[in-house]
Structure 1
């Protein structure tokens, strides 16, 4: 039985940390853990806050194709492929802000040098126990 995007969103909501992979300028694939801040009303977009001068932002500006991987409980995993965009709009920050982010960004949405990454997934590959499947988004 194949899964739908709503099922995947529900499973992703329980996974706070994922790995975000980008393409570095030297051709390497760079990965780092990122929190989705439980912002998973999933329609194919994931949001992450970071610093504007990070290598990750530079990588995305050079090549917006990225991947996200999530590892959940009971042999649930998901790999998303998509395109990332750097957002610097305070109103957009407010739409996705959660109180946990105050630990990282002391001035909230007014923190200087902050950026938000939106990853728009195009494909999801999941493994759920013995079942696996793919969804085009």
Structure 2
């Protein structure tokens, strides 16, 4: 097992857009759904995703902020990030992570009623690529 720096894993993540975000429901079941980082790929240990206040994801995070992100990439790359999620509703904070592509889902941009940004702060990052595997120290 060869540990990598956060920068080394972040460089590999630049090519990855879709993560499976896993939350735990009130009944203790795990629930996963694909989320796009919409090109916000300068990974520093935090991930950002947009959704609606009414989404089940928001309810799950309110009840238990412990989440997992999983990524799959070329050359047999797999990354698993365990962390804590926070729900951000302040438009000023959302603005730094907004890209024009989000207009497809949120027709009024940051003024779309009920928009919420999910921030996942990594606590543990594990990766696998071919025969290599390791963990990033956070």
Band the TM-score falls in, shorter-chain normalisation: over 0.9
For structure 2, the 5+ residue unaligned runs are none
Residue 70 of structure 2 is matched in structure 1 by 69
* Aligned equivalents of 2:60, 2:88: Cα separation in 1: 14
TM-score by length of 1: 0.97
The count of aligned residue pairs is 137
For structure 1, the 5+ residue unaligned runs are none
Residue 97 of structure 1 is matched in structure 2 by 98
Q: Secondary structure at the match of 1:61?
A: helix
Residue 119 of structure 1 is matched in structure 2 by 120
Moved more, 8-17 or 68-77: 8-17
Once the two structures are superposed, residues 70-122 of structure 1 have per-residue CA deviations (whole angstroms, 9 ceiling, x without a partner) of 00000111000000000000011111001110110000111111100000000
Shift of 1:41: 1.9
Shift of 1:66: 0.2
* Aligned equivalents of 1:40, 1:119: Cα separation in 2: 13
Residue 8 of structure 1 is matched in structure 2 by 9
The structure, 1 or 2, with the larger RCO (C-alpha pairs under 8 Å, 6+ apart) is 2
TM-score by length of 2: 0.96
Moved more, 53-62 or 35-44: 35-44
